[in-house]
Amino acid sequence: MTMSMYSTTDKMKMSAPSCFPGRYSPSYRSSEQMRRCMPNPSSRLLEDASLLCNSWSARQNGDIFAGINDGILSRAEALAAVDIQKHQAQHVHSQMPSQIKHDVMYHHHTMSGPPQRPLQMHHSMDQLDMLDPTGQMTTLAPISESPLTPTHQHLHGSYHSMNHMMSHHHPGTLSGHTGGHHGHSAVHHPVITAAVAAAGLHPDTDTDPRELEAFAERFKQRRIKLGVTQADVGKALANLKLPGVGALSQSTICRFESLTLSHNNMIALKPILQAWLEEAEAQAKNKRRDPDAPSVLPAGEKKRTSIAAPEKRSLEAYFAVQPRPSGEKIAAIAEKLDLKKNVVRVWFCNQRQKQKRIVSSVTPSMTGHGSAGFGY
């Protein structure tokens, strides 16, 4: 049955890198990053909600959402409604007629396509071309500072640099959370060292946000020059045959270029993308030689929830008040908005994640040359 043959899972299981801890420094994220969180539009609403919150939280400090049902929740919702009216000039809201449905699902698949298979040892024997049909996607995590992220099978354990934490995450994605940290140095591990060398990087340099940003920019331009799409790059990565490195999705490449990834994730991916870039340019130069090396140049329906704008505004308002609502609060919000609890929970998770994205920490003014497009 449908099972989830979902690739994601499989992929992750098989490919997991393990190392990672590159962790960004706490200050890194929190301070600068936070300021730019909530990007847009409904900022006004958020402000309203915040104000509301201030007065309230001032005293109820502890559990702001305590009275969520009739308290903030409704107020925030009211604000949201107002906001909506202003912007959309139209119906009102509160309950929304139903026309605008929130939580719409789109079809899903069942197996279709491209099975992206988990990577296992990838290197299939048939590595024919670069884009291997079964693109195996890899997950990587930052290895301490020089991430290369091999998959767990290979390295894991890595070390010290991660000092604390690390237990290793194994299979899966690697995430290195937990720790914070700064970093540096773990680059002496053989594998890592090799990877670093291959990529030609400098460990310390790699963790500098500005360097990351500069690299992302360079990467994008050179990639375009090569005439390679983001999707092509993702698939071609598998052909690099770096230990533990399989394919990545277009989404991830896109996010890397736009710095919409966590600092750690950026650090982990940089060496890999750099390695690809160098190899791709080399191949482009000598017109595809080494027949041995696969070229790195180009040669299911799931359900998806769509939260309507009104509900989204309300969620944003709630988020401004309490980014981490408890399970009960979430349930209350879900009920109010007529959304599934899980949908609301995931929305908050994603919102929090969004807030932490690296972009937030890189200010254009820092770089001098605006960054490609991330506003602010």
Partner DNA sequence: ATGCATGAGAG
Partner DNA sequence: TCTCATGCATA
Contacts of DNA in 289-348 (CB under 7 A): 300-307, 312, 324, 326-327, 342-343, 345-347
Please state, in angstroms and as integers, the Cα–Cα distance from residue 168 to each residue in 20, 140, 172, 249, 306, following that order.
8, 13, 10, 24, 36
Minimum distance, C-beta of residue 245 to DNA, in the bound complex (Å) = 9
**List 169, 181, 182, 270, residue binding DNA (CB under 7 A):** 169
Q: Which is nearer to DNA, 118 or 203 (by Cβ)?
A: 118
CA distance linking residue 218 with residue 245, whole number of Å: 22
CA distance linking residue 370 with residue 372, whole number of Å: 6
Name the DSSP letter for residue 137. B
For DNA, what does the binding mask look like between residues 87 and 126, x meaning CB under 7 A? -------------------xxxx--x-x-x----------
Minimum distance, C-beta of residue 357 to DNA, in the bound complex (Å) = 9
Does 146 bind DNA (CB under 7 A)? Our answer is no
Name the DSSP letter for residue 247. B
For DNA, what does the binding mask look like between residues 2 and 31, x meaning CB under 7 A? --x-xxxx-xxx--xx--x-----------
Q: Which is nearer to DNA, 196 or 374 (by Cβ)?
A: 374
CA distance linking residue 244 with residue 17, whole number of Å: 6
Binding segment for DNA (CB under 7 A), chosen from 50-58, 77-85, 175-183, 186-194, is 175-183
Does 138 bind DNA (CB under 7 A)? Our answer is yes
Q: What share of the chain is helix, strand, coil (3-state, %, to 5)?
A: 50, 5, 50
Q: Which is nearer to DNA, 250 or 282 (by Cβ)?
A: 250
CA distance linking residue 372 with residue 362, whole number of Å: 12
Site for DNA in 221-250 (CB under 7 A): 230, 234, 247-250
Q: Token pair of 233, please?
A: 């790059």
Does 1 bind DNA (CB under 7 A)? Our answer is no
Nearest of 314, 220, 302 to residue 260 by alpha carbon: 220
**List 49, 130, 137, 187, residue binding DNA (CB under 7 A):** 137
Burial classification of residue 3, based on how many CB atoms lie within 10 Å of its CB (0-12 exposed, 13-18 middle, 19 or more buried): exposed
Distance between start and end Cα atoms, the chain: 46
Minimum distance, C-beta of residue 68 to DNA, in the bound complex (Å) = 14
Q: How many residues bind DNA (CB under 7 A)?
A: 83
Does 269 bind DNA (CB under 7 A)? Our answer is yes
Burial classification of residue 198, based on how many CB atoms lie within 10 Å of its CB (0-12 exposed, 13-18 middle, 19 or more buried): middle
Does 187 bind DNA (CB under 7 A)? Our answer is no
Does 262 bind DNA (CB under 7 A)? Our answer is yes
Q: Which is nearer to DNA, 51 or 346 (by Cβ)?
A: 346
**List 353, 366, 370, 376, residue binding DNA (CB under 7 A):** 353
**List 60, 153, 178, 363, residue binding DNA (CB under 7 A):** 178
Residue 308, Ramachandran bin (φ over 0: left; ψ between -120 and 50: alpha; else beta) = beta
H/E element holding 106? strand 104-106
Does 154 bind DNA (CB under 7 A)? Our answer is no
Contact (Cβ atoms closer than 8 angstroms) between residue 320 and residue 43: no
Does 143 bind DNA (CB under 7 A)? Our answer is no
